[in-house]
Chain A
Amino acid sequence: MEQNLLLTYLLFTPIIGSVAVLFFGKNQTKFIRWFGLFVSLIAFVISLIIYFGFDSSKPQFQFLHQVLWISSLNVSYNVGVDGISLLLVLLTTFLTPLTLLSTWNAIEKNVKMFTFSMLFLEAGMLGVFVSLDIFLFYIFWEVMLIPMYFIIGIWGGERRIYASIKFFIYTMVGSLLMLVAIIWLAVYASGITGKFTTNLLELYKVGPTIPHQIQGWMFGAFFLSFAIKVPLFPLHTWLPDAHVEAPTAGSVILAGVLLKMGTYGILRYCLPLFPQSAINFAPLISVLAIIGIIYGALVSMVQTDIKKLVAYSSVSHLGFVVLGTFAMTVEAVQGAVIQMVNHGLSTGALFLLVGIIYERTHRRDIAYYGGIAKLVPLYAVALMIASLSSVGLPGLNGFIGEFLILLGTFKSSVLNSWWYTVFAATGVIFAAVYLLWMYQRVVFGEVKNPELKEHLTDLNVREFVVLIPILIFIVWIGIYPSTFLGMTEESTKSILQHVSSFTFDILK
């Protein structure tokens, strides 16, 4: 059936596009930019077709497409989406063209390679979200490291080499242990089903039968890899370096999509494959998540660099996502999923906005600015919406996610204590403090620097086109979240049912 090939089209569009870019001349900068944008827009259109063909009343994976790839190891090219992965696929295909468009002034050096890297990165990220074979997943997980490494390393700031190597090695450390766990799981499955298999749907049945002691180790190996990516406190130290040194486009993709691969991995792999261990470790991980929420917020508060402030706020926001995931109630997990999207939109927008003024002034320190509301009113409004969305103001998207997570955590029988909610809620307050304070210092007051008057110009049409779609979705999710929550509801329920069916004895 042709419909089943849609995901494959989606996945291969950026791959083919990126390879095609390699054959263009080095100096056809303008053409390459348009071409990159065009390819990523095609991918977006395909993902929209998938969205409209998706039946959200079914919890099963849809648009399945399976082709045997490595027969001797029984590895298939096996893709499919459920509500959760579809939402993240849409986020990826939505952000990529906007990011590409945002770089038309910022990236001057080697545009060809940049476009190649971005398209290749998009393919890697999409692959992570749609793989239903754990081996295939691992390949995409690793592959997307390379373009990101180049994006930080070539177009990054002063300490880009340090940041890119740190990013690469941190991620590699986690994922290689996951590789051993993947092989172990497949070998274990061959003892049970009689076949060496890495098919995720089959492993869902096998994973929970692993003896508890070993399951803990397996869970640990997978979780470490995802926790580094999220990043969960205390594994977050690569993030500020990578974010600060990366070019704007890199930061947007990093915050917008890459970090979600970690939380998505937890939801898709850690929970259903090792439900007993997930429940055992839930309190510990939730404590780490809450430490991350508060720590990230406190560190953001004292930053003098706007970009670093936004980077640390990611640690805080993703703490919420992890907390919601391990609360394991429908509300909390739904909240976590929607919060992944929210964070992608609001932090993505913040990074874009930081990038926009950085392009004009080449300064990112808060103290340099002040009173820019008078100079760039449109910019100030956009920054206001993005900041408030990140703060979690009711009516904007951040509120929905955080509220659902806090509500779900409160009711959680796995965590079974309202202290988690109390401490997590302080993160919301701190977020208001550091973001609004930053906003006040940058935007309000008198114009401190006369230089600003010369350099700072308001948003141009291209930047407007980049920001408007993001702002629309920020408001949309805030006002009418059902569009998105409805998509993920059945899938969330099915994951939680799967978990609780194996852990009944632990829960009660």
Chain B
Amino acid sequence: MPVSNFEYYQLSPFILIGLGIIISVVIEMITKKSEQILPWLSILLFLAISIYSIVNINNHAILFGGMIEVGGKPAIFNFIFNIGAMLIVMSSIGYLKKYGTYYGEYYIIVQSSVLGMMIMAGSKDILMVFLGLELMSICFYVLAGFNRKKLSANESSLKYFLLGSFATGFIVYGIALIYGTAGNTSLLYITSNFASLSSNIIFVTGFVLFLIGFSFKIAAFPFHMWVPDVYQGSATTVTGLMSTTGKTAAFSVLIISIAATFTLNAPNVFKPYFSVIAALSMLFGSIVAISQNNLKRMLAYSSISHAGYMAIGLAAANTQSISGIIFYLAAYAFMNIGAFTVISIIEGEGDTRIDIDSFAGLHTKSPVLAAFMSLFMFALAGIPPLAGFFGKYYVFVGAIEGGLTWLAIVGVISSMISVYFYLRVVVYIYFRDSIEEFKPEISSFSLSAVIISGAFVLIFGILPDLLLNVINSVINL
């Protein structure tokens, strides 16, 4: 099939980031100061692509003979990936010096992982999904162990790699079965023939294997084993990237792959699967998070529980709940990146000051950080009118419309539990006296990242229509 120039034009975000990666590699080779140039390049690149994505949201097209989709839902996902990566890069600059990995390669790998995510979100062919997933995952394995001198980083990288490969195995096996029964790898073909294909037990088995692989990537119970250790062992900014954009990418694939059930009215055969996963993830994540003192570990469990809330939307699988998930993902990206950025500012050298004790009396040390950290905690806990609340609200509306009231009730029970550990952070920040005296080094970059995240959390909370209308306008494409 001939490819027109226009298709290349529409592919420009992918080409742009690809070029960015190549240029970065060249800069890394020729100069010794790449670690000072590359952050700027990455920030500009990510900012450009995120603006491009939002502006071109209505230029919806499927390119290269049904391989990749641009505009529409992928554009929203691309926005989340790029703005998220931009914030992470901003908070990384100061952090990497402290962490002992002040190298330019870091930014190249972050860019590559974002390219992987963009391919995942845009893929219209099951093999493209795999391509994007591997690109993203391998970058994450590397990023997790980026500080090779550190034992915990090595552990987290290895653990992530082994378990991640296992999950990939599931996905490939699932793809094989799907291809074997459907005779086609095109997602368009699979979704439009879903109703007839889903009567074939082997097809459904393949599909479930595929979903299990991605359940691992979204960190849902019972495929969550890697999450706490990897989140704790990796650099804080890397954890921020994995837990938000990585999760968003995995969810984007889940949304594409079950699209048949909510756009074409095929029977929702995965409802029991997602309902159980959602309920267990929410409860498990919230309950275990209560006893965590290490903030990164606490946010890891909270991430499991948030995956559960979003999975409610997959179980209900109606347009309302799917747009709810997308909103939730955007909201989650900002509140979580914000929280991780604050942690990365407080963190001292050599894994110190990531316990909740270090946050005691923070409001006397830095009122601004204290206020924003509390904002993020309230948002994660789902207090209105912050973005996190609306994410939950839309998902619950979808669930109740889809007849899953019980799941919404499990969701609010889990929210009640989670309020406790989010509030605990606020208690330490405002109500306790400082335990350890230190002066947090707040670079203007990381502070801007915190402020931008906080602004989005507030804006999406007070004017959720801004984002929701955009999502609703493309949800059925």
A165 CB contacts on chain B under 8 angstroms = 420, 423-424, 427
B384 CB contacts on chain A under 8 angstroms = 138-139, 142-143
Instruction: Produce 1/0 per residue, A120-154, CB < 8 A to B.
Output: 00000000000000000011001101100110011
Q: Of the candidates A69, A143, A184, which one forms a contact with B383 in the assembled complex, judged by CB atoms under 8 Å apart?
A: A143
**B434 vs chain A, min Cβ distance (A):** 14
B412 and A160: CB pair below 8 A?
Answer: no
B349 at the interface (CB under 8 A from A): no
With contacts A70-B465, A72-B472, A145-B383 taken as known, whether A154 is within 8 angstroms of B419 at the C-beta atoms is no
B469 at the interface (CB under 8 A from A): yes
A164 at the interface (CB under 8 A from B): yes
CA distance A73 to B472 in the complex (A): 11
B47 at the interface (CB under 8 A from A): no
Q: Looking at the complex, which of B297-305, B333-341, B394-402 is the stretch in contact with chain A?
A: B394-402
The 9 closest A-B pairs by CB, nearest first: A176-B412, A139-B384, A153-B431, A72-B468, A142-B384, A183-B400, A187-B400, A173-B416, A161-B431
CA distance A142 to B389 in the complex (A): 11
B465 CB contacts on chain A under 8 angstroms = 69-72
B393 at the interface (CB under 8 A from A): yes
B430 at the interface (CB under 8 A from A): yes
Enumerate 28 A-B pairs (CB-CB under 8 Å) in ascending A order. A70-B464, A70-B465, A70-B468, A71-B465, A72-B465, A72-B469, A139-B384, A142-B383, A142-B384, A142-B389, A143-B384, A149-B426, A153-B427, A153-B430, A161-B432, A169-B423, A172-B415, A173-B416, A176-B415, A179-B393, A179-B412, A180-B396, A180-B405, A180-B409, A180-B412, A183-B397, A183-B408, A187-B400
CA distance A154 to B384 in the complex (A): 22
B405 CB contacts on chain A under 8 angstroms = 180, 184
B385 at the interface (CB under 8 A from A): yes
Residue of A nearest to B402 (CB): A187
**B85 vs chain A, min Cβ distance (A):** 28
Residue of A nearest to B418 (CB): A172
Quick one: which of A71, A173, A179 has the most chain B CB within 10 A? A179
CB interface residues, B 134-177, toward A, < 8 Å: none
A9 at the interface (CB under 8 A from B): no
B427 and A161: CB pair below 8 A?
Answer: yes
CA distance A142 to B384 in the complex (A): 6
CA distance A122 to B389 in the complex (A): 22
CB interface residues, A 148-186, toward B, < 8 Å: 149-150, 153-154, 160-161, 164-165, 168-169, 172-173, 176-177, 179-180, 183-184, 186
B378 at the interface (CB under 8 A from A): yes
**A426 vs chain B, min Cβ distance (A):** 36
CA distance A164 to B408 in the complex (A): 27
B416 and A176: CB pair below 8 A?
Answer: yes
B420 and A169: CB pair below 8 A?
Answer: yes
A183 and B396: CB pair below 8 A?
Answer: yes
With contacts A139-B385, A143-B384, A146-B383 taken as known, whether A180 is within 8 angstroms of B419 at the C-beta atoms is no
CA distance A145 to B413 in the complex (A): 18
A73 CB contacts on chain B under 8 angstroms = 394, 397, 468
B385 CB contacts on chain A under 8 angstroms = 139, 143
B431 and A154: CB pair below 8 A?
Answer: yes
Number of interface residues of B (CB under 8 A): 33
A169 and B383: CB pair below 8 A?
Answer: no
B432 CB contacts on chain A under 8 angstroms = 161
Q: Of the candidates B416, B427, B472, which one forms a contact with A172 in the assembled complex, judged by CB atoms under 8 Å apart?
A: B416
Quick one: which of A69, A71, A165 has the most chain B CB within 10 A? A165
A177 and B412: CB pair below 8 A?
Answer: yes
Number of interface residues of A (CB under 8 A): 32
CA distance A70 to B419 in the complex (A): 26
CA distance A154 to B426 in the complex (A): 11
Instruction: Produce 1/0 per residue, B175-194, CB < 8 A to A.
Output: 00000000000000000000
B412 CB contacts on chain A under 8 angstroms = 176-177, 179-180
B401 CB contacts on chain A under 8 angstroms = 187
Q: Of the candidates A153, A168, A177, which one forms a contact with B419 in the assembled complex, judged by CB atoms under 8 Å apart?
A: A168
**A70 vs chain B, min Cβ distance (A):** 5
Instruction: Produce 1/0 per residue, A55-96, CB < 8 A to B.
Output: 000000000000001111100000000000000000000000
CA distance A86 to B460 in the complex (A): 32
CA distance A149 to B383 in the complex (A): 13
A172 and B419: CB pair below 8 A?
Answer: yes
CA distance A160 to B397 in the complex (A): 36
A184 and B464: CB pair below 8 A?
Answer: no
CB interface residues, B 412-455, toward A, < 8 Å: 412-413, 415-416, 419-420, 423-424, 426-427, 430-432
CA distance A143 to B464 in the complex (A): 17
A161 CB contacts on chain B under 8 angstroms = 427, 431-432
CA distance A154 to B427 in the complex (A): 9
**B331 vs chain A, min Cβ distance (A):** 14
A138 CB contacts on chain B under 8 angstroms = 384
A186 CB contacts on chain B under 8 angstroms = 397
**B116 vs chain A, min Cβ distance (A):** 31
**A474 vs chain B, min Cβ distance (A):** 35
Instruction: Produce 1/0 per residue, B257-271, CB < 8 A to A.
Output: 000000000000000
CA distance A146 to B465 in the complex (A): 24
Q: Of the candidates B396, B397, B419, B431, which one forms a contact with A164 in the assembled complex, judged by CB atoms under 8 Å apart?
A: B431
CA distance A425 to B416 in the complex (A): 38
CA distance A195 to B419 in the complex (A): 32
**A366 vs chain B, min Cβ distance (A):** 29
CA distance A73 to B432 in the complex (A): 40
B378 CB contacts on chain A under 8 angstroms = 146
A150 CB contacts on chain B under 8 angstroms = 430
CA distance A256 to B393 in the complex (A): 31
Residue of A nearest to B381 (CB): A172
CA distance A90 to B464 in the complex (A): 32
A187 CB contacts on chain B under 8 angstroms = 397, 400-401
CA distance A165 to B423 in the complex (A): 8
**A299 vs chain B, min Cβ distance (A):** 27
**A179 vs chain B, min Cβ distance (A):** 6
CA distance A176 to B423 in the complex (A): 16
A70 CB contacts on chain B under 8 angstroms = 464-465, 468
CA distance A70 to B397 in the complex (A): 14
Residue of A nearest to B461 (CB): A139
**A387 vs chain B, min Cβ distance (A):** 33
Q: Of the candidates B323, B393, B423, B430, which one forms a contact with A183 in the assembled complex, judged by CB atoms under 8 Å apart?
A: B393
A184 and B400: CB pair below 8 A?
Answer: yes
Residue of B nearest to A165 (CB): B423
A180 CB contacts on chain B under 8 angstroms = 396, 400, 405, 408-409, 412
CB interface residues, B 337-388, toward A, < 8 Å: 378, 383-385
Residue of B nearest to A110 (CB): B363
A168 CB contacts on chain B under 8 angstroms = 419, 423
CA distance A72 to B393 in the complex (A): 13
Supply 12 further A-B pairs (C-beta < 8 A) apart from A176-B416, A180-B400: A73-B394, A73-B468, A149-B426, A165-B423, A172-B416, A173-B416, A179-B396, A179-B412, A180-B405, A180-B409, A187-B397, A187-B400
Residue of B nearest to A217 (CB): B405
CA distance A149 to B381 in the complex (A): 14
Instruction: Produce 1/0 per residue, A173-208, CB < 8 A to B.
Output: 100110110011011000000001000000000000
Residue of A nearest to B419 (CB): A172
B468 CB contacts on chain A under 8 angstroms = 70, 72-73
With contacts A139-B384, A153-B431, A187-B401 taken as known, whether A169 is within 8 angstroms of B408 at the C-beta atoms is no
CA distance A146 to B430 in the complex (A): 12
